[in-house]
Amino acid sequence: MRREQAHVTHQPVQTPSDYVFELDAGCTCLDFANTLTFGRDHLNSYADLLAFADQAHLITPEDAAWLRARAERDQHSADGVLVRARWLRQAIRGIFGNLAAGETPRELDLDVLNRDLAESLAHARVLAGSGGGYAWGWSGRDLDMLIWPITRSAADLLTSDEQRQLVRECGAPDCLWLFLDTTKNRSRQWCSMRMRERRDIGPGAAAGAPRGRGRARRTPAAPVGDASATAV
């Protein structure tokens, strides 16, 4: 059975990841879940996590610069945040993968989400916006601030009766891509063709190599990570 790889790469945080994340799942938390797809993990360092948050517009450029500098000074804590983010990703994949299959999410996955949600919401604030409106925002800065909006996104999706019914998992036997089906007749079954093409031409894809490997496990084994790393 496939196990999620959990090694931590000590990539210099000042060197941004050059991977371009696919952000078309329709929801931030599902985009985050899809950073592990086709057997490839695109979160191998804190720099990768920072690149995802930056590309998904979860942080400001000022936040990104601050986080890079802080992570360089405290690589141990940054590694801990990465391990924590992978646990959260596994929980999100488990919760919404089960829902897409018409199954009940596991209590263990809900516990992981609720743990991170409690920590994230401690930083949540209602802020005045332009035009007299108000919006959710965040107070303070820390290495784990990249996780805060992801947990909020997962909680919002899970508690929305309407949106929750739209969660789908790609029907291909070798794909665990999650997305919201917003088609008029709710008939979408596949991830984006662009993602299929990226999978086929990516590292390790050989001409004539068999594509189908049987349905992968919906909930991969728990990430081990750096046993010495602790979350902030």
228: in domain: no
Which residue spans within 92-200 are E strands per DSSP?
Answer: 124-128, 134-138, 167-169, 178-180
Q: What is the pLDDT of residue 232?
A: 35
What is the reported pLDDT for 104? 97
Does residue 94 form part of some domain?
Answer: yes
Q: For residue 153, is it within any domain?
A: yes
**118 CB-near residues (< 8 Å, 6+ apart):** none
- Residue 203's pLDDT is 46
Q: Assess if residue 114 is contained within a domain.
A: yes
For residue 222, being part of any structural domain is answered with: no
For residue 230, tell me if it sits in a domain.
no
Q: Which domain holds residue 32?
A: 28-201
Per-residue pLDDT of the chain (232 residues; tens, 9 = 90+): 334 444 555 555 656 668 899 999 999 999 999 999 877 899 999 999 999 999 999 999 999 999 999 999 999 999 999 999 999 999 999 999 999 999 999 999 999 999 999 999 999 999 998 888 998 899 999 999 999 999 999 999 999 999 999 999 987 777 888 999 987 776 666 576 455 555 554 444 433 333 333 344 444 444 534 433 333 3
Residue 165 DSSP one-character state: T
Cβ-in-10-Å burial (0-12, 13-18, 19+) of 104 comes to exposed
The pLDDT value given to residue 113: 99
- 3-state SS assignment for residue 36: strand
What does the alpha-carbon distance between residue 106 and residue 166 come to, in Å, rounded to a whole number? 19
Identify the CATH number of the domain in which residue 159 sits: 1.10.3300.10
108-114 long-range Cβ contacts below 8 angstroms, 24+ apart: 109/219, 112/87, 112/88, 113/88, 113/151, 113/154, 113/155, 113/158
Is residue 154 in some structural domain?
yes
Distance CA 6, CA 226 (A): 8
What is the number of domains present in the chain?
1
In a domain, 22, yes or no: no
Overall pTM surpassing 0.95 (yes/no): no
